[in-house]
């Protein structure tokens, strides 16, 4: 079994330290973040297999904000999240649809409990997600874990933003996305002027994946609305290997 990466988001250094020790002893690779902004950029860059997220964080984003942003990101939406909280009044709402965590642990906790819950959540999630690691539409194939895209068997180099845009569309071929919906799925586009930024990313993406970028057959413009990925064949979920 490959090493699983767990991102621990917590601002109290002694908690990070002890949780990291126990998780590493259990064979996990551990990343850490001490505030919400760092946590989100690490999640987007590293795609951890699991996020352990403290509810109370310093700065502009608390644990609930981080959780919601992960759940709104089409690439990261399935990342399992275990919430740490000392606020017992919240625990009923933490798990499930309302706030989006997969499990929670109340403070104070033993680090052994974190290891046990992490293993349980990963087992549950990985049991459910066989086949979601790859997408295929026509001659376009995408390996979501390795972040590799091939067109007709030929690998194409995409920027992280182009990859995330294409992933959002490949998850729902045929769906029309407005530019505002697409910008939700990516992260490094400045809020101002995002329409033009999306258009420019789409143009670059077409140069790389379309047989003839001037007559796109994959990424189609829907006038007055946005873009959609043409359905050239059904999405095939490959067997996970
Ligand atoms: Ca805290």
d(CA 12, CA 52): 13
Overall fold of domain 5-128 = Rossmann fold (3.40.50)
CA of residue 106 to ligand 1 center, whole Å: 12
What are the DSSP E strand ranges found in 175-239? Answer: 177-178, 219-222, 226-229
If you measure from the C-alpha of residue 131 to the centroid of ligand 1, how many angstroms do you get, rounded to a whole number?
Answer: 36
Average pLDDT across the chain, whole number: 83
Distance (Å) from CA 57 to ligand 1 centroid: 5
Cα 38 to ligand 1 centre (Å): 14
* Cα 139 to averaged position of ligand 1 atoms, centre (Å): 47
Which helix (H) or strand (E) is 69 found in, with range? helix 63-72
**CB-based contact 52:7 (threshold 8 Å):** yes
pLDDT-derived band of residue 93, with 50, 70 and 90 as boundaries?
low
Cis peptide upstream of residue 212 (ω within 30 degrees of 0): no
> Separation of 28 CA from ligand 1 center, angstroms?
22
**Cα–Cα dist 32/145, whole Å:** 20
Q: How far is the CA of 124 from the centre of ligand 1 (A)?
A: 27
CATH code of domain 131-240:
1.10.10.10
DSSP 86-120: S-GGGHHHHBSTTT-BSEEEESS--HHHHHHHHHH
CA of 11 to the centre of ligand 1 (A): 5
**Beta 226-229 vs 219-222: how paired, if at all?**
antiparallel
Q: How far is the CA of 41 from the centre of ligand 1 (A)?
A: 19
Confidence grade of residue 92 (pLDDT, cut at 50, 70, 90): low
- 146-166 confidence digits (pLDDT tens): 788 999 999 998 887 788 889
Question: What does the buried/exposed string (b/e) look like for 49-58 if buried means 16 or more CB atoms within 10 Å of the residue's CB?
Answer: bbbbbbbebe
Going from N- to C-terminal start, the domains of the chain cover 5-128, 131-240
């Amino acid at each position: 079994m490959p090493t699983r990466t767990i991102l621990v988001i917590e601002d109290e250094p002694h908690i990070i330290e002890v949780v990291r020790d126990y998780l590493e002893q259990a064979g996990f690779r551990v990343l850490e973040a001490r505030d919400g902004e760092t946590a989100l950029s690490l999640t987007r860059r590293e795609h951890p297999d699991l996020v352990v997220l403290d509810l109370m964080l310093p700065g502009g984003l608390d644990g609930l904000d981080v959780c919601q942003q992960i759940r709104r990101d089409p690439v990261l939406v399935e990342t399992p999240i275990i919430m740490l909280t000392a606020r017992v009044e919240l625990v009923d709402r933490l798990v499930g649809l309302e706030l989006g965590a997969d499990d929670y642990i109340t403070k104070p906790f033993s680090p052994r409990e974190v290891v046990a819950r992490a293993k349980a959540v990963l087992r549950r999630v990985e049991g459910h997600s066989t086949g979601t690691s790859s997408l295929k539409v026509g001659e376009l194939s995408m390996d979501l874990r390795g972040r590799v895209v091939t067109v007709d068997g030929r690998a194409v180099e995409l920027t992280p933003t182009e990859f995330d845009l294409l992933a959002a569309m490949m998850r729902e071929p045929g769906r029309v996305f407005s530019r505002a919906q697409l910008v939700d799925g990516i992260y490094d586009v400045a809020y101002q002027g995002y329409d033009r930024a999306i258009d420019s990313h789409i143009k670059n993406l077409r140069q790389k994946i379309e047989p003839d970028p001037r007559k796109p057959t994959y990424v189609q413009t829907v006038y007055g609305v946005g873009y959609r990925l043409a359905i050239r064949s059904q999405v095939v979920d490959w067997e996970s290997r």
